[in-house]
Amino acid sequence: MSVHDTIEVDADDFPYTQSVDLSDGVFLFTFQWNETDQHFTVDVADAEGNDIRKGEVLILNQALWRGINDDALPTDTIIPMDESGNETQIDPGNLGDTVQLCIDDIVV
């Protein structure tokens, strides 16, 4: 059970695009698995399909689009994480299972 709100990911269906409703609107996320480099990437587009950012690598416990200043990107902080703390990397066997795309919206 996740403490954070999460964005559902189905690693069995890669590549695919899904609509994601976030606090500042609807975005299209396209997920891919790069077999050569052994990592997942996500492209983000606005609701009309206009590309905002392509090829963002999913890194465990690192916010997506960190250090990128673009007003078109979602304002929510989205972090691929394993809330149990057991995983050390993201792979096809754990993304969408133990590793979730968590929306960091918990106020401490």
- Is a pLDDT exceeding 80 seen at residue 94? yes
pLDDT at 32: 95
81 forms beta bridges with 100
- Is a pLDDT exceeding 80 seen at residue 65? yes
User: Sheet harboring 78-81: ordered strands across?
Assistant: 5-7, 100-103, 78-81
pTM given for the model:
0.90
Give the chain's mean pLDDT: 92
Average pLDDT over residues 13-24: 93
